[in-house]
Structure 1
Amino acid sequence: MDLRDELPVDHRLARVYRIGAGLCGAALLVFGCLGLADGLDFFSTHGEQVAGLSSNGLLSLVSIVVALVLIAGAAIGGNTASTVNIVVGALFVLSGFVNLALLDSGANLLAFRIPNVVFSFVMGFVIATFGMYGRVSGKLPLDNPYWRSRHPDAAPAARPPRTAIGGRAS
């Protein structure tokens, strides 16, 4: 099964995926460039403050690479941007948990501190939410392209129309 065959290609939600990937990628790119511009030690486990977060050269480089992946997803757009957002968001959350376990140890190669962990969780959820917007829900509207692709034989009138106040018409 090819994912590109299963998901709709041309839909207005693509703009949300692109904007989310682009904004989050730009923020990470700025953070990474500021860290590299400060000439931080590459493998310092203590790090220096950059934009309120602890950073070292390795974290700055990783931030730039992830930013470029997000920006590439935004440039491609559509389902690719959505999928990139979901995967990168999940990796950010996973990174938060891993680095939380590595705090104050010699294995803390990215010089994480608690604010970095919180940032990783928040940024991960924001990026993943941009990727899942309009794509993952139990009550997608009938005109949603993902609902239509999952229910190709269903007629658009499969659900009763809603009244002006949100209830069901009788």
Structure 2
Amino acid sequence: MATHALHPGAKRPRRRVSLDEHLPVDHHLSTIYRVGAGLMGLVLLAFGILGLIDKVGFFDTGGDTVAGLNTNGALSVLSICVGLLLFVGMVIGGNFASTLNMVLGCAFVLSGFVNLALLDTSLNFLAFRIPNVLFSFVVGILLMIFGMYGRVGSALPHDNPYWKSRHPQETRHAERGHRARHPEQAR
């Protein structure tokens, strides 16, 4: 372990951690990822459908309000598409739902910043106002929380598949100790 300190020129092999391979299909974290994707998908789908019912122009920047948020046809269609994508993530579940939640969460936060910069310009073709920007930030952070739950943190339990993938030596040591204490389970 400390060979790099003794031989500073020696290269250590880098471990590449691929988090998508370590979550068992039936792991309880999958439920959290599914619920997060489903809830946020339902909110976005409802917002998009209500926006389309009002028959607002596709790129109308005057904006119509739905549930206190400005909308137009483009934003409504975009909300429906993202809501359906989150429903697909909910149905698939597992690592796909977790990764989708994280990626879309980052996209929502980024969208909040971009649309904040475009508020009073002619490029605000999604008819965003401050409540829309705040909504984008809140949805983005919630999606990231749902996606990262159980994947990142300083106090992950040692039976967590993501902790095991990051600490393979400790995992092997603990498994050897468990087999030594319970030889009847090793068969």
Measured against the shorter chain, the TM-score band is: 0.7 to 0.9
Structural mapping, 1:65-144, within 5 Å: 65-144=81-160
Q: In 2, Cα distance between the equivalents of 1:5 and 1:16? A: 16
Alpha-carbon distance, 1:139 to partner: 2.1
Q: Which runs of 4+ in 1 moved over 4 A?
A: 1-5
Paired letter, 1:34: L
Q: Deviations over 1:73-98 (max 9, x none)?
A: 11100000000000000000000000
Q: In 2, Cα distance between the equivalents of 1:141 and 1:87? A: 24
Flag structure 1 segments of 5+ consecutive residues without an equivalent.
158-170
Alpha-carbon distance, 1:2 to partner: 9.2
- Residue number in structure 1 paired with 2:24: 9
Alpha-carbon contact 2:19-2:165 (below 8 Å) kept: no
Q: Which of the numbers 37, 52, 62 marks the counterpart of 1:36?
A: 52
3-state secondary structure, aligned to 1:153 = helix
Q: Deviations over 1:6-61 (max 9, x none)?
A: 43233210100000000000010000000011101100112111111000000000
Q: Choose 144-153 or 115-124, whichever is displaced more.
A: 144-153
**Structure 1 residues 60 and 132: alpha-carbon distance in aligned structure 2, compared to 1, 3 A threshold:** same
3-state secondary structure, aligned to 1:54 = strand
* Residue correspondences, number: 157
RMSD: 1.7
Percent of residue pairs identical? 59
Q: In 1, Cα distance between the equivalents of 2:89 and 2:129? A: 29
Alpha-carbon contact 1:28-1:64 (below 8 Å) kept: yes
Instruction: Name the TM-score, length of structure 2 as normaliser.
Output: 0.79
Q: In 2, Cα distance between the equivalents of 1:5 and 1:133? A: 14
Flag structure 2 segments of 5+ consecutive residues without an equivalent.
1-15, 176-187
Alpha-carbon distance, 1:141 to partner: 1.1
